[in-house]
A = this chain, B = another copy of it.
Amino acid sequence: MLYVEKLYEQLGREKVTQQESELKKHSKDESIHEAVTPDVVCFPESKKDIQMILRIASKYQIAVTAYGAGSGLEGQAIPVQKGISLDFRNMNQILDFSPEDMRITVQPGLMKSELNQFVRQQGLFFAGGPDYDATIGGMAATNASGTRAVRYGVMRDQLLDLEVVLADGMTFHTGTKAKKSSSGYHLTSLFAGSEGTLGIITEITLKLYGIPEYSTVARCTFETPELCAIAAQTIQLKGIPVMRMELIDSVSIGIINEQCGLDFPVNHSLFLEFAGPKNTVAEEVKLASEIMHELGCEDWAAASDPIEKEKLWEARVKLAVSFQHLKELKEIGGDVCVPISQLPKLVSFTRHSMDTSGLKGAIWGHIGDGNFHTSIMFNPNADGEQALAEQTNDAIVKLAIESGGTCTGEHGVGLGKKKFQEAEHGTALEMMRRTKQLYDSKGILNPGKIFS
C-alpha cells in the first residue's frame, strides 16, 4: 500500500511494522468484540511523529486508531476499518513533575503503575483510572474510573491539561497548569472520553494526591440490596470521605465462596475502605460502624493490619476472576450507572434475569457512584447462549437508561454501547455527530466508534 510506503519513508523502519504478530496484537482488546487486524502499526516517539502520521493518513484517507495497553473493555482500540494502529509504547516519558503542586505531565503511553512508582517517593499517588493497570492515555481517552472514583472522581476530574493533535495536524493545549479556570470553552472535558475520535492526545497533565498515611478496611452485610443502598447514601450524607465503597450481591458472594474456597457470610455485602491521617480514620470507622449497626447490618468486621485488610477485601478482588477458571465460558461485562436509589431495582432485575435465563453471573458495584457491574457468562459453543447473554445485558442497559442512568459508567462506548447512544443522548447525539465532523471532517480518527 502506498501510504504504508510513505510511513516507512517518513518515520523510518523502526517506527513502523507490518509483522504478523504485531498486527495480531493490535487487532483486539480485552472485550469480546471481534478482532480486526490493522494494515500497519506505528510506534511514534514524539508529537512530530504523530503529526507526520496524521498528515499521511489524512492525505490517503486512512483510519487511525490509538492503542494504549489493549486493556479496554468495549473495543475502543480495535481498528475496525483497518488502517493504522497508533501504539504509544515509545511515548511513555514523564515530562514535568511538580510535587509541590501535586501535579505531573506525562506522555500517553505511560502505565499507571509506572506513574505511581515514580511519584511514590514524594508521598504522592495518582488516584484516577481503573483498578487494573492501563496507559494514562487510554484512561483519559475513555474517561476510565474505578473503585476510588467515589472519593477522587473519574479520569476527567484528574485532568488539568491535554495536548492534542487533530486529524489535520492542528495542535493545541486544552487547559493550563492551574487547578481551576473559567477561561474559554472546556475542551479538556470534551477530549476526555472521546475515545480518540476527535484528536490524538500527546501530553497529559494530571492532579496527584498525597498517599494516605493510614487505612482501614471494613465489611458488613445486609438482608437486601435496598438496605445496602440506604447505608451507602447515609455514609455520603454524613460526609465520610470513603476511599472505596463496594457492593456485592449475595449470590455472587456464594459463587466466590464456592470458586475460591472462602467462607464469607452469604448475604448482600458492603466493602468499605477509609484512608487518611490515623486518628481521623479511626473516627470515621467508628462513625461508619454506628451508622451500619443502626441500619441493622450484620457481620461487621474491620481491619487495619495489611494482611487482615487483604483477607477482608479478598471477596471483592476474587470476584473479577471467579469465573476465569471456567475456560469454556466467555463473559459479557455490564457497566451501567444509575442514581443510587435505583440500584436495588437494577440488582433485583439483573439477578432475576440471570436466574430465569439460566446463565451464571456476578453482580457488584461501586455503590457510592451507582456504578453497577455485571459479568454474564455464556458458552460460545452452546446454541443461542451468547444471544441470550446479550439480550440480558441489553435489558439491564435499557432499564438503567429508563431509570435516569447511563449505559456506561466507566468502560466507554467503543463498539458495545453504540446501539444505546440514541436512547441515552437523544437529540444531543446529533450535536455530538456535528462535533465529530468539526474536529475530524474526513472521519479518519477511530472510525466506527461511539457513532455508527
Contacts and interface: CB of A to CB of B under 8 A. Distances in A.
B186 A102 contact: no
Interface in A209-265: 209-210, 212-213, 230, 233, 236-241
B428 A173 contact: yes
A287 interface: yes
Given A101-B341, A280-B284, A185 B180 contact: no
B283 A185 contact: no
Contacts of A177: 338-339, 404-405
Contacts of A439: 431
How many copies of this chain? 2
Contacts of A238: 210, 213, 277
A408 B149 contact: no
B193 A185 contact: yes
Contact of A279 (B198, B287, B430): B287
A188 B431 CA distance: 12
A166 to B, nearest CB: 8
Contact of A185 (B166, B194, B210, B340): B194
Interface string A130-167: 00000000000011110001000110110000000010
Contact of A184 (B145, B157, B424): B424
A98 interface: yes
A28 interface: no
Contacts of A144: 182
A236 B438 contact: no
A428 B189 contact: no
A412 interface: yes
A179 B427 contact: no
A180 B237 contact: no
17 contacts: A123-B237, A153-B157, A170-B431, A173-B425, A178-B370, A178-B409, A180-B406, A181-B406, A182-B413, A183-B407, A183-B424, A184-B421, A184-B450, A186-B189, A210-B236, A279-B283, A283-B283
